[in-house]
Structure 1
């Protein structure tokens, strides 16, 4: 099944097994103002003014210094951001509400802490797994 992909140009700076560390000229995919864009470029430019280097899968065997095209499924960045931020926030609030229901303020704080810890452990476990398909992860699709 073909999915729409977003691409960006980069230069391979270092290699690490089946991965490459690439440097892009602009932070993000450049689709901030389009449908499906997450707007992350404006946020990263506020906090990061230096070079933008990312670790991506090197499925074509690019070498150091190669100009390459990186692809990722359209919308996967916003889905990942929602997963990493919204899930822990929601579970933290649910833990606080559940704790408050059973025992007041102290229980609410404990419930919030437990909920946050569980959510972070889940996010970490999912991020280290080989979940999703290749197009959901940034990868090199061609030499430019």
Structure 2
């Protein structure tokens, strides 16, 4: 399991919004000589989301410390679906169009392959089994007991 500690920053009856309290930025060598600068690359296209929405099945409240968990391999599966399916769709579409009509129509095939792969990934996202595989579980952080915050 991949786990991260978070704090509930907003809550309603059906969902909570959590903010990761100990964000990890890869190897931690971003500012050292020889570091890859992965965190800087991640921020190059905008600021990452501050809070994530998760179903509130356990009645969490604002300020609760929680632990988020995702199955091992789920992130890899999501990356393959997000990047692999469109790449394969684009290459296959361009190759098929080139075979059928030459280089002049390769771009049409590439775009058609991307559109088809977009439809496939959207359909995958709506599938129940796929959602269960990518689901994030949430539980109370062992170091934070809600009963200890009870008013006397």
Same fold (TM over 0.5): yes
Q: Kindly report the root-mean-square deviation, in angstroms, between the aligned alpha carbons of the 2 structures.
A: 2.6
Task: Provide closer, same or farther for how the CA distance between residues 55 and 44 of structure 1 changes in structure 2, counting only shifts above 3 A.
Answer: farther
Q: Structure 2, unaligned stretches of length 5 or more?
A: 28-37, 145-152
TM-score, normalised on structure 1?
0.75
Q: CA deviation at 1:23?
A: 0.6
Q: Which has the higher strand share?
A: 1
- Indicate whether 1:115 and 2:113 are aligned: yes
Spell out the pairing of 1:1-144 with structure 2 (5 A cutoff).
Answer: 5-15=1-11, 17-27=13-23, 30=24, 32=26, 42=39, 43-47=41-45, 49=47, 52-132=50-130, 134=132, 136-143=134-141, 144=144
Higher relative contact order (CA 8 A, sep 6+): 1
How many residue pairs align between the two structures? 131
Which structure: larger Rg? 2
Q: Structure 1, unaligned stretches of length 5 or more?
A: 34-40
8 Å contact kept, 1:12–1:68: yes
**How far apart, in 1, do the equivalents of 2:139 and 2:133 lie?**
10
